[in-house]
Amino acid sequence: MPREFSRNQRLGNQVLRTLNELLRFDTKDPRLEGVSVSAVDLSRDLSVAQVYFSILDPNADPAPVKQGLEKASGFLRSKLGRAIKVRHVPELRFEHDDSAAEGQRIADLIEGALNSEPSR
């Protein structure tokens, strides 16, 4: 009987939860205000974690936030290593998740199409 969740998925979910807590409570960098981790993809050998982050304001520039995350990556890795108890903490690579902005753009297009239809 196959397992429902692989080790990658379990560890990825644990990294996601822990990073969100660390970003909310332990970081002092003002660039990281209102940032949340939306997804974590771990490599097969668990050495690299691709971390997707989102910002409260979908129209804001993600570049300063990404710089803040990269600067805090050593701090985040050390805290992560203490929290999840793994032998090798994965390298954190950050990428902006623009799905919220894309969803808003699609919703605006639908709203515009509905408002421009002639009444019957």
Q: What is the pLDDT of residues 26-77, one digit of tens each?
A: 999 899 988 999 999 999 888 999 999 998 887 788 999 999 999 999 999 9
The pLDDT value recorded for residue 1 is: 45
Q: Is the pLDDT of residue 103 over 90?
A: no
The pLDDT value recorded for residue 49 is: 94
Is residue 70 situated within a structural domain?
Answer: yes
**Average pLDDT, stretch 96-100?**
84
Do strands 91-96 and 48-55 pair parallel, antiparallel, or not at all (unpaired)?
parallel
CA distance 25 to 11: 21
Q: In what order do the strands lie in the sheet with 35-42?
A: 35-42, 48-55, 91-96
Return the bridge partners of 51, or none: 40, 94
Structural domain span for residue 112: 7-116
Whether pTM exceeds 0.95 = no
Given a contact cutoff of 8 angstroms between Cβ atoms, the answer to whether 63 and 21 are in contact is no
Count of the separate structural domains present in the chain: 1
- Structure confidence by residue, pLDDT tens digits, 7-29: 888 899 999 999 999 999 999 98
Half-sphere exposure of 110 (CA within 13 A, CB side): 6
Is residue 18 situated within a structural domain?
Answer: yes
Is residue 1 situated within a structural domain?
Answer: no
Counting Cβ atoms within 10 Å, is residue 118 exposed (0-12), middle (13-18) or buried (19+)? exposed
Is residue 39 situated within a structural domain?
Answer: yes
Q: Is the pLDDT of residue 2 over 90?
A: no
**CATH number for 29:** 3.30.300.20
Q: Is the pLDDT of residue 80 over 80?
A: yes
Is residue 58 situated within a structural domain?
Answer: yes
